[in-house]
Structure 1
């Protein structure tokens, strides 16, 4: 296994948008993985930008707006260093519950207006519905975002967690920059059908969950406020089997002289130049650990 020093940017699909090979996912900075410290979160964003990261990923429903306001604070004096990817459409209740999805054209523009205000910016670089709204044709949703592109409020249109038919229909309305989808060593379903269609259409991938929500790095759900406690992969009947797999990964990583998390990220990076892994670091120490993965060059055999 060799290392490389020069970090080549990656293209987000065929849009011409070039980004650092890793994106910083900010969801965990707003309570989704338990309590987080705003000052450390902002310091982590700053450290990421200072070390070359260009793409920040958020959702207007993360912390019911807290995440966007946090990023807005972090970017107050460095907007020119960051590209912003924003998901919208998920609906929240005052008690923190999830109550549906809304991607009607009027809602698209309403959500974008609030995001621009919370982020303190005049445009969003990639705007995407968080999930498919079964009540709204995808053509209507993408058409509304396309109007925001024409008006200068959005630069590119992305998708999140949708299938092949929806991808094709959306792309027929307006070029899609990338699909955001979970992909890791142990979550490989996109390989079956989706990746080939994305390659055909010139659509990139921003892959979240590359550490399987922390499973591959040995992180366990916190006792309070951590949504991962409800994920099947962390349930008692599944966790024992998954931990056996993680132990194998640890052994393999040790033989290569890297951490399991770095090997898992490097694996995703090596699978395709069209994939930009989204790392969910909440602390500078986590960020540094993940960033080291870009220097790990895995051969096809490995």
Structure 2
């Protein structure tokens, strides 16, 4: 497995694994199947496991904790805090205050069954709490040995610049894909400027770029229900873009997933930015497929064809557009 050094000296596998897929948020999965896929990922050389306190209301962390019982020293463990649920039907808020940070790290450590978190992310920036205060609270956890590195998810370029005045930031996480490129305007330059690595979620467009997404498969609780890009109207509108993307993949003798990952890693190399993707899956064979997207060389002409696709796509990438970085830049 190729490794990548993110910021603050954190070295991880070049391909990570996203823990949302260990819950029913993308469709039903048993705990035994989720654990089997996790073990296959680690057996394949993946060491960065990325989860959050809210994925399946802690279920993802609990499942990862079962793997950590025997394989903790093989893993760079990332989890997140900050998104608060139970505010009402389909409502959630954000907290970044010190009290909440300290409360949630203890709950996550207990579910994971470990004494340390390698990379602790603020999942969303709290507009009511200066980011310097939130990062300062995580720095206290570093001083106590409970956290090793700090990450930010969906922070703006300005918030990254402010955060690093308190403590080095190892990674900024956001969606960055062939069809979601808003981070290239402000977030990527700030990360490059301050030595912050980039970790991309939904590089495969929440399965859409694989060509295997069927809206009929969405079940209650599927996170794509409330994302406008994946409603039936926009899926139909965007179908020609997907058709072109998959045609390019066939010409390159790659699957859609592999081409999406190859494009992302190509972007990181061209920009001189340490970049890691964390696609999740419920199936071991998809982990193996995704590994085929690493270290693929793409021609300038092919990249130019792919780069032209994003502006043609209709629908927002987030269920809460106001909470992601592009809304606050």
In 1: Cα distance, 2:173 partner to 2:40 partner: 24
Q: Aligned to 2:29, what secondary structure does the other structure show?
A: coil
In 2: Cα distance, 1:16 partner to 1:137 partner: 25
Residue pairs, 1:122-141, within 5 angstroms: 122-141=115-134
Residue pairs, 1:61-140, within 5 angstroms: 61-93=54-86, 97-140=90-133
Q: Which residue of 2 aligns with 1:11?
A: 5
Residue pairs, 1:251-262, within 5 angstroms: 251-262=247-258
- Aligned CA RMSD, in angstroms, stands at 1.6
Residues 39 and 96 of structure 1: is their aligned pair in 2 closer, same or farther, counting only changes over 3 Å?
A: farther
- Give the length in aligned residue pairs: 295
TM-score (norm 2): 0.86
In 1: Cα distance, 2:147 partner to 2:262 partner: 31
Structure 1 position 220, deviation (Å)? 2.8
Contact 2:150 2:169 in 1 (8 A): yes
Structure 1 position 106, deviation (Å)? 1.2
Q: Aligned to 2:171, what secondary structure does the other structure show?
A: strand
- Give structure 1 regions of 4+ aligned residues with deviation exceeding 4 angstroms: 94-97
Residue pairs, 1:134-153, within 5 angstroms: 134-153=127-146
Bigger proportion of residues as strand: 1
Structure 1 position 96, deviation (Å)? 7.8
Structure 1 position 179, deviation (Å)? 0.3
Greater mean deviation of Cα atoms: 235-244 or 149-158: 235-244
- In structure 2, stretches of 5+ residues that fail to align are 303-329
Contact 1:232 1:238 in 2 (8 A): yes
TM-score (norm 1): 0.93
- In structure 1, stretches of 5+ residues that fail to align are 1-6
Q: Which residue of 1 aligns with 2:263?
A: 267
The equivalent position to 1:223 in structure 2, one of 218, 243, 252, is 218
**Which one has more relative contact order, counting CA pairs under 8 Å at least 6 apart?**
1
Structure 1 position 94, deviation (Å)? 9.1
Q: Aligned to 1:78, what secondary structure does the other structure show?
A: helix
Q: Which residue of 2 aligns with 1:20?
A: 13
The equivalent position to 1:165 in structure 2, one of 158, 169, 173, is 158
Q: Which residue of 2 aligns with 1:242?
A: 238
In 1: Cα distance, 2:59 partner to 2:291 partner: 25
Greater mean deviation of Cα atoms: 90-99 or 260-269: 90-99
